[in-house]
């Protein structure tokens, strides 16, 4: 029995005899059902038509993406530390070559994911590398392939290792999380932001939305909550969810200025 993967959001579901009737992630107002209706694929089909690309983003940080792009098109990030590697966010495709290459790099000690749009094939990755998957408990209902590997964490922060801290920002999803990497950007600190803090085409700014494809903004308390959650952390660089979507410098100032601009626009 295959595990179905939604073609529009890339979420892999638990094994079923027939594809599921619908995808709750896409039915939600933050996403959308594909214009030609709900469509499903499988890992096997994806392996036949796509390859995995690994590219260094900065020393100690490897991007892992799929070509041609699948669904939302995000790439994951492998943070390499002396205490073990952490896979930040996830993708739908996992193939043998990638398991071999990542194993050569020391494997994966833990997976952590910003929000349900990137849960993708997290259980495949967790099983291949014997790793736990850290998800914020507030988004528990969106886990569509349950597994003993999933660790639901609660509260506002969670240490994954020395200098690696999960920070719950909320906003886009109630459990929306970013990963603070203290050693990133040559020790100035980096934020691995998923789309919880969204790098935008003008990379001197970021934005924050309840839905990106459907352009639903957040309210004032949500914006202030994100800024407050990040206040204790220093970071220069912000790595967004796609290749090249990076704020190179003054990341913390960029978040502060962008939040101010946003609040002005919504009358907050």
Binding residues for Zn ion, rule: CB under 5 A, are 6, 8-9, 23, 25-26, 117, 195
**Angle ∠(208,227,174) on CA atoms, nearest 5:** 60
**Minimum separation from the CB atom of position 171 to Zn ion (A):** 10
Q: Which is nearer to Zn ion, 25 or 160 (CB)?
A: 25
Which one, of 93, 96, 41, 43, lies nearest residue 65 by Cα?
93
The pair phi, psi for residue 222, each rounded to 5°, is -65, -45
Tell me the DSSP string of 111-169. EE-SSGGG-TTHHHHHHHHT--EEEEGGGGGG-SS--TTEEEE-SSEEEEETTEEEEE-
**Minimum separation from the CB atom of position 178 to Zn ion (A):** 13
Q: Which is nearer to Zn ion, 22 or 103 (CB)?
A: 22
Q: Which is nearer to Zn ion, 89 or 195 (CB)?
A: 195
16: left (phi over 0), alpha (psi -120 to 50) or beta: beta
**Minimum separation from the CB atom of position 94 to Zn ion (A):** 18
d(CA 57, CA 100): 20
Query: Which residues, in sequence order, are CB contacts of 264 under 8 Å at separation 6+?
Result: none
Q: What is the DSSP letter of 11?
A: P
Q: Which is nearer to Zn ion, 88 or 129 (CB)?
A: 88
The pair phi, psi for residue 196, each rounded to 5°, is -80, -45
d(CA 184, CA 118): 22
**Minimum separation from the CB atom of position 115 to Zn ion (A):** 6
Residue 52, CA distances (Å) to 47, 92, 100, 202 in order: 9, 10, 12, 28
Q: Which is nearer to Zn ion, 6 or 255 (CB)?
A: 6
Q: Which is nearer to Zn ion, 6 or 108 (CB)?
A: 6
**Minimum separation from the CB atom of position 169 to Zn ion (A):** 13
Whole-number CA gyration radius for the chain: 18
**Minimum separation from the CB atom of position 186 to Zn ion (A):** 29
**Minimum separation from the CB atom of position 38 to Zn ion (A):** 8
Q: Which is nearer to Zn ion, 117 or 237 (CB)?
A: 117
């Amino acid at each position: 029995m295959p595990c179905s993967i939604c073609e529009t959001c890339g979420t892999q579901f638990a094994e079923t005899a027939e594809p599921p009737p619908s995808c709750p992630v896409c039915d939600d107002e933050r996403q959308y059902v594909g214009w030609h209706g709900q469509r499903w694929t499988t890992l096997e089909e994806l392996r036949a038509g796509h390859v995995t690309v690994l590219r260094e983003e900065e020393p100690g940080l490897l991007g892992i993406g799929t070509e041609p792009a699948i669904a939302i098109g995000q790439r994951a990030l492998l943070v390499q530390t002396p205490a073990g590697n952490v896979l930040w966010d996830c993708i739908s495709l996992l193939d043998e070559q990638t398991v071999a290459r990542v194993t050569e790099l020391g494997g994966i000690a833990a997976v952590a994911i910003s929000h349900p749009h990137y849960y993708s094939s997290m259980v495949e990755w967790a099983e291949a590398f014997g790793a736990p998957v850290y998800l914020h408990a507030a988004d528990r209902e969106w886990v569509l392939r349950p597994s003993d590997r999933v660790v639901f964490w609660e509260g506002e922060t969670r240490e994954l290792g020395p200098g690696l801290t999960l920070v719950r920002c909320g906003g886009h999803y109630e459990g929306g999380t970013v990963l603070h990497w203290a050693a990133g950007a040559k020790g100035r600190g980096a934020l691995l932001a998923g789309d919880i803090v969204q790098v935008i085409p003008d990379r001197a700014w970021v934005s924050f939305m309840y839905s990106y494809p459907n352009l639903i903004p957040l309210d004032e308390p949500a914006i202030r909550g994100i800024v407050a959650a990040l206040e204790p952390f220093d970071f220069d660089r912000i790595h967004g969810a796609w290749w090249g979507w990076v704020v190179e410098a003054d990341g913390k100032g960029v978040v502060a200025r962008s939040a101010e601009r946003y609040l002005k626009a919504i009358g907050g």
